[in-house]
A and B are shown apart, each in its own frame.
Chain A
Amino acid sequence: MRTIYLDNNATTQIADEVREAMMPFLTDLWGNPSSMHTFGGQVKKYVEIAREQVAALIGANDPQEITFTSCGSESNNLAIRGGAEAMDKPPHIITSKVEHAAVSGPCHYLEDRGFRLTKLDVDEKGRLDLDVLRREVKTGKTLTSIMWANNETGVIFPVGLIGEIVHEFGGIFHADAVQAVGKIPMKVSELPIDLLSLSGHKIHAPKGIGALYIRRGTQVKPLILGGHQERGRRAGTENVPYIVGLGVACNLAKKNMEEENTRVKALRDRLEKGILETCSGSHVNGDLTCRLPNTTNISFDYIEGEAILLMLDDRGICASTGSACASGSLEPSHVLRAMHVAGVSVHGSIRFSLSKYNTEEDVDAVLTELPKVVKRLRELSPFVA
């Protein structure tokens, strides 16, 4: 059975170009970039090339503003914990109710240690109220952390406007851009963003590599101590093969940005339209006007997400769900709950997230199989006459 992979917001296929670029560093070029000898030292320039490639994708002025980390979660932890602890006075931490756990986790960690934490509501389309943000930001120096795009719904937040408000009152702004990088164009040097997280495996690099953009002048206290690497911001011998892989992945993403926003978007739109037409009682969650080009989150009334997912899985289709049952928690996705998605549909949400590797055939397969799955589960449901 062919695997139809539509779960690219969870992780992506490693690009051939990325794997090939990494191979020399897993075979011959295994030296330590900090070494004084030529054998080790020659590796350093590849780390710096990768740094330039990452900087180029996000539009940073200076590659030295990029710090390599082990993953997006580490980047978020470094930005929030490291950022807050480096400020001269403990800041008021502001975030939203729809953040990834890698952001809400460190925010709660700080709250437990006496920092004031405010989590902003979103509306039914998953949007922030900027007036409320302004009211909170006004109260003193803040570290505000808001995602650039939501992983479940793809809703894009107005990070430019958010950053302006935060800066107006002297705060620091961190954008978790793990889902946005590589999918939408960005020029961070021209935006009021101080810290920005990204992750390799969301853009066709392997798992185990991420980066944090730290704007020149922004102070961050390191989480990992004991070495001069990454200019003292992140100790530990550089993960050279993966850093090289991330660099190449960024380079590819920059080249493919146009395709992401035309061909991939068209596939997503056809998939979404087809599902809404063939499955009654289905609705898209989130703000349709301001959304990542690859993501759609659809709720199916009166049926449950894990059951849909497993029936799709049985047909070779990989997607994900915000259903409680699938995660092992008893409450459905915090994102859909924050958006007050109706009780009949909050448990039946499915996220399809595409990439450049998806084809028209993949969309056709879902449009053939999904209506059968929905029909079958509705037959089982006591809530459908």
Chain B
Amino acid sequence: MWDYTEKVTEHFKNPRNVGKIEDADGVGEVGSLACGDALKLMFKLDAEGRIKEAKFQTFGCASAIASSSALTEMIIGKTLEEAEQITNQDIADYLGGLPNQKVHCSVMGREALEAAIYNYRTGKKLDKTLEGEVICHCFGVTDKAIEKILRENDIHTVEELTNACKAGGGCGNCLPELKKIVDRYLKKTAAPEGKAPMTTLQKIHLIEDVIDREIRPALRQDGGDLELIDVDGDTVKVRFCGACSGCIISEVTLKDVVEARLKENVSEDIRVEEVR
């Protein structure tokens, strides 16, 4: 018997915003029948760009249904920029917490929201398995998805990681690889406090590294690319090439992909400018 909070039980028994929006602005679908849970999230914006309506359909357990219901309540009234800030931990907190083994239900909520916003901005379906290398084949979890989970949750063991994103919960073949990833992450984040600031040279190397590992592969899927032109203090200048140059959403790509990744991996103070 799960130790669900009253709020989880209440949202499970009386889920809010169930259903479909016929002319939705954004639709996000994550999970599958085979995985045992799936969520379809739809939203519609008002004239000011705020989410005025959100609906969901969920196949899954009580906490999956409760997490979906909570998510719709949380995003209604928010702009997409505000909604994007919601982490899986926020969804769990809204419900008064989730049992450890059910954390992945809140992650499914956050991923559906991400997919719906991506769908609104690009008109495309977000395919997580194309982004990065698939580590867990049973549940189709990539290294990129795992890194995001590690950043957003206080995870110290592979078991906690499995609870959060299911990776490693099937055949178990990827468990050694997951252990390496978690250990590497913990080592990285456990760097002694008050360490010397990066030299300019170190910063440039790190920026190049992040562009190569995290940014370029994503752009190349859509036939685009970018070039690092200069680093001036915390200002990073880049030029889009290929399909990205002249793309109508290159502004979005610049902020949401390039700048966001560099902020995460290099420094919160990074600003990215496009050189045309």
Contact residues of A with B, CB < 8 Å? 302-307, 310-311, 314, 323-326, 328-332, 343-344, 347, 379-383
A347 near B18 (CB under 8 angstroms)?
no
| Contact present for A380 and B36 (CB under 8 Å) | no
Knowing A325-B37, A330-B162 are in contact, say whether A314-B60 is a contact too (CB < 8 A).
no
Q: Are A304 and B36 in contact (CB under 8 A)?
A: yes
Known: A323-B36, A343-B33. A380 touches B61 (CB 8 A): no
Bound Cα distance A324, B105 (Å): 13
Q: From known contacts A343-B33, A380-B65, infer whether A330 and B59 are also in contact, taking CB-CB under 8 Å.
A: no
Question: In the complex the two chains form, is A306's CB within 8 Å of B61's CB?
Answer: yes
Also in contact, A347 and B36, with CB within 8 A (given A307-B65, A380-B18, A382-B29): yes
Whether B60 lies near A325 (C-beta < 8 A) is yes
A-B contact pairs, 24 of them (CB 8 A): A304-B61, A304-B64, A305-B61, A307-B64, A311-B13, A323-B36, A324-B36, A325-B36, A325-B60, A325-B61, A325-B64, A325-B102, A330-B36, A330-B104, A330-B162, A330-B166, A331-B169, A347-B33, A379-B18, A380-B15, A381-B57, A381-B58, A382-B39, A382-B40
Cα-based distance from A383 to B65 in the complex (angstroms): 14
Check if A332 sits within 8 Å of B58, measured CB to CB. Answer: no
Determine how close the nearest CB of chain A comes to the CB of B142; give it in whole angstroms: 17
Scan B44-76; emit 1 where CB is below 8 A from any A CB, else 0.
000000000000011111111100000000000
* One of A311, A324, A328, A382 near B59 (C-beta < 8 A): A382
A2 and B1 alpha carbons, distance in the complex (Å): 19
Q: Is B190 an interface residue (CB 8 A)?
A: no
- In angstroms, Cα B15 to Cα A53, docked, is 53
Q: How many angstroms between the C-alpha atoms of A306 and B170 in the bound complex?
A: 19
Which chain A residue shows the least CB distance to B18? A380
B33 touching A302, Cβ below 8 Å: yes
Q: Is the CB of A380 within 8 A of B62?
A: no
Residues of A within 8 A of B89 (CB): none
Residue of B nearest to A328 (CB): B101
Cβ-defined partner of B57 (8 Å) among A305, A328, A332, A382: A382
Which of B58, B63, B166 is within 8 Å of A382, CB to CB?
A: B58
